[in-house]
Amino acid sequence: MAYVIGKECIDTQDHSCVDVCPVDCIYEGDRKNYINPNECIDCGACEIVCPEVAIFPARKARSDVERQQFVADNAAFFELPLPGLAEPLGDPAGAKLRGHVSADTELVRAWPQE
Amino acid sequence: MSDRALAHRIACDLTVVGAGPAGLFATYYAGFRGLSVTLIDAQPEAGGQVSALYPAKTIHDVAGFPGVSGSDLIAGLLDQASSYDPRILFGRNAVDVVRDDVVSGLTVTLADGTAIDSRAVILATGVGGIRPRTLPLGHGWHGRGVTYLVPDPAAHEDEDVVIVGGGDSALDWALQLQPIARSVTVVHRRRAFRAHAASLTRAASQGVELLTESEIQAIHGDSRIRSVVLRDAQGAEREIPADIVVGALGVVTAPAPFAAWGLEMRDRKVLVDSAMQTNVTGVYAIGDVSTYLGKIALMATGFGEAATAVNNAAVLIDPDLSLFPGHSTDDDAGAPLDATPGQPE
């Protein structure tokens, strides 16, 4: 299980979560941040600091179709090739090592701007 | 036991590295098996991730506890681990594990030079060492005014204090230091503070300067910090006097260099077999640091891995022992129900 960032992050990207993650597993995309489910240690530090209340544990998505979409989408950000990148991100072992990712998943790219 | 001063070489049956849930339970279990144990942790207290990251959270997936707080669970585990009087070395960092094939022994070396000789080692180091996140510009200023802990606020009487961070610990320190210090400035690079609204209101009313979207651009001084240059979101810079700069940026984890210790790794975890043994004979790995086919990183599984590792290590240490431990209910020598928790040295 891991924590997941939902739609509230899109075009907001406060980054407080990035500041508190003890394992640096929150990666910054163009319009949204994504938690790497393989690197997340499930501590929950990000959930309580997010001013947008965008973060939830994956197990709390069970009865919520939209949240389930974002559970899959957070994983897809790392597992599937992103536009402009030759290889999937994989598990880079540190968002700071990887730096800003100038891309988003299909779901987030297509998300309407407010 | 208080042999810190002369603890340059210690001998025991089993060394457990890491005093999180898995390491604490392994320590109990090894005691129950009649093994003498040394338990090491880099932190000054037991509990690993649980104590550092979520002591107040309620945990629901530990067998026998419908709900238990992180700190209560750790207190219980430490109490249980202390049943057989292990040697506990907290605040001590393990820096190497070396196997000597001639004597079939292992030596764990600590950062302070202490060497612990044992027949088996259990690595239960979790996500690694947990330490404060360092300030980007703090390098070179440690010991000259940059700090991550304020153990004695009274020592900063009449000083200009700059705190970096936006969470509760930043504000807690600001509120503690404001009545003592000449000035307190909290610098946060994000748009809004994460700390409780009540703390922010109190800090503002007491004269703490709270800056958002600001960063320290430079630190100036000589043998001590004298000032810092702040830059806001518009790029405007200004220099303010500073005697100390306190980093309150949370914690980061850092895994030990296991590959350099000769351990086979997979996906940055230590690979173990079904006995929890690594590729180095006598070195076992349990809990979040270990991996194998089908691994689930949970406390619930870590406890089982602890029992598996200890019972297999017991046979390695003394081939006359049986793999199956017997049942703890038969153990007359076991700790009474009201056993007092052990104290770290």
The backbone torsions φ and ψ at residue A78, rounded to the nearest 5 degrees and listed phi first, read: -100, -30
Residue B7: predicted pLDDT = 53
The answer to whether position B259 is within a domain reads yes
Q: Are residues B46 and B159 in the same domain?
A: no
ipTM of model: 0.83
Residue B343: predicted pLDDT = 52
Which residues does A contribute to its contact with B (CB < 8 Å)? Answer: 14-16, 19-20, 22-24, 38, 41, 43-45, 49, 51, 91, 93
Question: Do the beta carbons of residue B86 and residue B38 sit within 8 Å?
Answer: yes
Closest CB from A22, A38, A91 relative to B53: A22
Closest CB from B130, B191, B268 relative to A14: B191
Size of interface A-B (CB pairs under 8 A): 48
Greatest CA separation found in chain B? 74
How close A26 comes to chain B (CA, Å)? 13
Closest among B245, B32, B277 to B148, alpha carbons compared: B245
Mean pLDDT confidence for B132-161: 91
Q: How many domains does chain B have?
A: 2
Q: Which residue of A15, A43, A53 to mutate against B (max B Cβ within 10 Å)?
A: A43
pLDDT digits (tens, 9 = 90+) for A28-68: 999 999 999 999 999 999 998 898 999 999 989 988 999 99
Spatial distance between the Cα atoms of A75 and B266, rounded to a whole number of angstroms:
20
User: What's the token pair of residue B98?
Assistant: 């070396």
pLDDT grade, residue B2 (50/70/90)?
very low
Spatial distance between the Cα atoms of B309 and B291, rounded to a whole number of angstroms:
13
Indicate if the pLDDT at residue B1 is higher than 50: no
pLDDT grade, residue B3 (50/70/90)?
very low
Mean pLDDT confidence for B290-310: 97
Q: How much is the pTM? A: 0.85
The answer to whether position B338 is within a domain reads no
**Listed residues B249, B274, B302: the one ending a domain:** B249
Which residue type is seen at A49? V
Higher-pLDDT residue of B1, B12: B12
Domain residues for the domain of B172 are 134-249
Residue B23 CB partners (closer than 8 Å, separation 6+): B16, B17, B39, B41, B48, B122, B124, B125, B286, B287, B306
Residue B20: predicted pLDDT = 97
Question: Considering only alpha carbons, which residue of chain A is nearest residue B133?
Answer: A22
The answer to whether position B341 is within a domain reads no
pLDDT grade, residue B139 (50/70/90)?
confident
Question: Considering only alpha carbons, which residue of chain B is nearest residue A49?
Answer: B194
Contacts 24+ apart (CB under 8 A), B295-301: B295/B269, B297/A41, B298/B61, B299/B21, B299/B22, B299/B59, B299/B61, B299/B62, B300/B61, B300/B62, B300/B63
Question: Considering only alpha carbons, which residue of chain A is nearest residue B288?
Answer: A41
Closest CB from B130, B167, B249 relative to A49: B167
Other Cβ atoms closer than 10 A to A84: 8
8 Å CB contact of B167 and A20: yes
Residue B50: predicted pLDDT = 94
Residue B332: predicted pLDDT = 61
Closest CB from B57, B167, B250 relative to A22: B250
8 Å CB contact of A23 and B267: no
Spatial distance between the Cα atoms of B73 and B64, rounded to a whole number of angstroms:
11
Burial class (CB in 10 A: 0-12, 13-18, 19+), B278: buried
Q: Torsion angle, CA of B54/B22/A1/B131, rounded to 10 degrees? A: 50
Closest CB from B53, B191, B268 relative to A45: B53
8 Å CB contact of A41 and B288: yes
Spatial distance between the Cα atoms of A103 and A61, rounded to a whole number of angstroms:
25
Residues of A in contact with B52 (CB under 8 A): 22
Which residue stretches of chain B are H helix?
Answer: 21-32, 48-53, 70-81, 168-177, 197-205, 299-317
Is residue B209 within a helix (H) or strand (E), and if so which, with residue range?
strand B209-211
Is residue A20 within a helix (H) or strand (E), and if so which, with residue range?
helix A16-20
Q: Are residues B311 and B266 in the same domain?
A: yes
CATH number, domain of B264, equals 3.50.50.60
Residues of A in contact with B297 (CB under 8 A): 41
8 Å CB contact of A19 and B288: no
Higher-pLDDT residue of B332, B32: B32
pLDDT digits (tens, 9 = 90+) for B221-263: 999 999 999 999 999 999 999 999 999 998 898 888 898 999 9
Spatial distance between the Cα atoms of B319 and B313, rounded to a whole number of angstroms:
10
Is residue B160 within a helix (H) or strand (E), and if so which, with residue range?
strand B160-164
Q: Which CATH number describes the domain made up of A3-102? A: 3.30.70.20
pLDDT grade, residue B93 (50/70/90)?
very high
Indicate if the pLDDT at residue B199 is higher than 70: yes
- Grouping H, G, I as helix, E, B as strand and the rest as coil, residue B100 is strand
**Listed residues B212, B228, B249: the one ending a domain:** B249
**Could you tell me how far CA B293 lies from the centroid of its own chain?**
27
Residue B285 CB partners (closer than 8 Å, separation 6+): B122, B123, B124, B263, B270, B272, B276, B278, B309
Q: Are residues B156 and B20 in the same domain?
A: no
The answer to whether position B154 is within a domain reads yes
How close B54 comes to chain A (CA, Å)? 7
Which residues does B contribute to its contact with A (CB < 8 Å)? Answer: 49, 52-54, 57, 127, 130, 166-167, 190-192, 194, 249-253, 267-268, 288, 297
Q: Are residues B31 and B124 in the same domain?
A: yes
Residue A33 CB partners (closer than 8 Å, separation 6+): A5, A9, A13, A15, A17, A18, A26, A27
The residue ranges of DSSP E strands in B222-333, in sequence order, are 225-231, 237-241, 244-247, 251-254, 265-266, 269-271, 283-285, 290-291
Q: Are residues B209 and B152 in the same domain?
A: yes
8 Å CB contact of A22 and B288: no
The answer to whether position B73 is within a domain reads yes
Q: Are residues B225 and B89 in the same domain?
A: no
Burial class (CB in 10 A: 0-12, 13-18, 19+), A15: middle
Question: Considering only alpha carbons, which residue of chain B is nearest residue A24?
Answer: B252
Q: Are residues B225 and B122 in the same domain?
A: no
Spatial distance between the Cα atoms of B305 and B276, rounded to a whole number of angstroms:
7
Spatial distance between the Cα atoms of B231 and B254, rounded to a whole number of angstroms:
30
How close B337 comes to chain A (CA, Å)? 32
- Grouping H, G, I as helix, E, B as strand and the rest as coil, residue B252 is strand
Q: Are residues B95 and B177 in the same domain?
A: no
In chain B, pLDDT over 70 holds for what percent of residues?
94
Closest among A48, A38, A72, A46 to A58, alpha carbons compared: A72
How close A42 comes to chain B (CA, Å)? 10
Q: Are residues B73 and B212 in the same domain?
A: no
Average pLDDT over chain B, rounded to an integer = 91
Q: Are residues B268 and B228 in the same domain?
A: no
Closest CB from A24, A49, A91 relative to B194: A49
The answer to whether position B141 is within a domain reads yes
pLDDT digits (tens, 9 = 90+) for B102-116: 888 999 999 999 999
8 Å CB contact of B166 and A16: yes
Q: Are residues B84 and B192 in the same domain?
A: no
Q: Are residues B15 and B123 in the same domain?
A: yes
How close A20 comes to chain B (CA, Å)? 6
Q: So where are chain A's domains?
A: 3-102
